[in-house]
């Protein structure tokens, strides 16, 4: 546990130093002018990112899919899905960003995971902007539960930080940014053997790197503490706030999972505030 925490501190310190160094030599006004009012695609696949999160009035609805769960090893195609709703309740720049997620893991008793219709939980996250480039936060998954089991029954607490690293002054072009997210947590972030034994007694590190490959598309490489995932998040339509994420999870296991999510987001108040990262809609899986 000691080495896990030290690893997190080292990773966060390096990314923070890099972000501060780059922002010091790059005209901040240029970055703000091009980026500050842009939509930000997903910067993580499942990990809790906090960059530009928790703004009051920002809501998102979405559904996530996987072609099979981790416990389904006999059949190649047994799709499962979950739904989620996100609402922002704070202000990470002036006070504290607050984000709440209502998860519905069980959409059917017959399809996907059996006999879990209505299974769900509520997540909560608090975040704070250090400056335009660095956000930190704490939060919890599955804090309030209803008929949960497997990993969905693990109450998880975490601390995380997201850092924006600008790569060029003209950030409206491809490869303008890198988003780095690192954190530590217990619960679903533990080693797999701990989760299999239904134990929640250790912490582990997680991390995500997202590079802007198009003006509104990110390529994401992520380590959850358990599995390696590669995905892409994008806004495919210029004037419609529809977000799509597709990827491959469990790359480090013998059998991989194909994952996807689709969501729709709106800023109900303060229409000028567009600087929101699309909330992560985790693809929940039995471990």
- For position 94, which CATH number holds? 2.40.160.40
Domains of the chain: total: 1
pLDDT in tens, 240-249: 889 999 999 9
Residue 272 lies in a domain: no
Using CB atoms within 10 Å of the CB of residue 227, give its burial: 0 to 12 exposed, 13 to 18 middle, 19+ buried: buried
- In angstroms, the CA 223 to CA 182 distance is 9
Q: Give the mean model confidence (pLDDT) for residues 50-56.
A: 88
Query: Which residue range(s) make up the domain with 92?
Result: 2-267
Q: What is the pTM of this model?
A: 0.82
Distances (CA, A) of 161 to 38, 167, 182: 21, 19, 6
Residue 277 lies in a domain: no
- In angstroms, the CA 287 to CA 285 distance is 6
pLDDT in tens, 277-287: 556 555 444 33
Selected residue with higher pLDDT from 274 and 263? 263
The pLDDT > 90 percentage for the chain reads 27
CA triplet 90, 271, 138: central angle to 5 degrees?
Answer: 25
Q: How far apart, in Å, do the first and last CA atoms of the chain sit?
A: 22
């Amino acid at each position: 546990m000691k080495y896990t925490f030290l690893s997190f501190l080292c990773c966060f310190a390096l990314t923070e130093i890099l972000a501060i160094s780059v922002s010091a030599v790059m005209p901040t006004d240029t970055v703000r002018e091009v980026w500050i009012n842009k939509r930000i695609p997903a910067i993580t696949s499942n990990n809790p990112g906090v960059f530009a999160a928790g703004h009051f009035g920002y809501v998102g609805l979405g559904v996530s899919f996987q072609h099979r769960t981790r416990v389904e090893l006999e059949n190649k195609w047994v799709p499962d899905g979950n739904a989620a709703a996100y609402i922002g309740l704070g202000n990470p720049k002036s006070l504290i960003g607050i984000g709440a997620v209502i998860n519905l893991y069980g959409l059917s008793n017959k399809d996907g995971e059996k006999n879990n219709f209505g299974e769900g939980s509520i997540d909560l996250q608090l975040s704070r902007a250090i400056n335009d480039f660095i956000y930190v936060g704490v939060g919890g998954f599955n804090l309030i539960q209803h008929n949960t089991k497997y990993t969905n029954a693990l109450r998880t607490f975490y601390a995380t930080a997201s850092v924006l690293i600008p790569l060029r002054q003209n950030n409206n072009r491809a490869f303008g940014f890198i988003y780095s997210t690192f954190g530590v947590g217990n619960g679903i972030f533990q080693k797999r053997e701990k989760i299999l034994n239904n134990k929640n007694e250790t912490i582990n590190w997680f991390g995500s790197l997202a590079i802007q490959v198009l003006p509104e598309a990110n390529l994401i490489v992520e380590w959850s503490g358990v599995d390696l995932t590669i995905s892409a998040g994008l806004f495919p339509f210029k004037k419609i706030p529809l977000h799509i994420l597709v990827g491959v999870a469990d790359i480090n296991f013998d059998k991989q999972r194909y994952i996807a999510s689709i969501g729709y987001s709106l800023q109900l108040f303060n229409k000028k505030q567009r600087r929101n990262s699309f909330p992560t809609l985790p693809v929940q899986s039995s471990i």
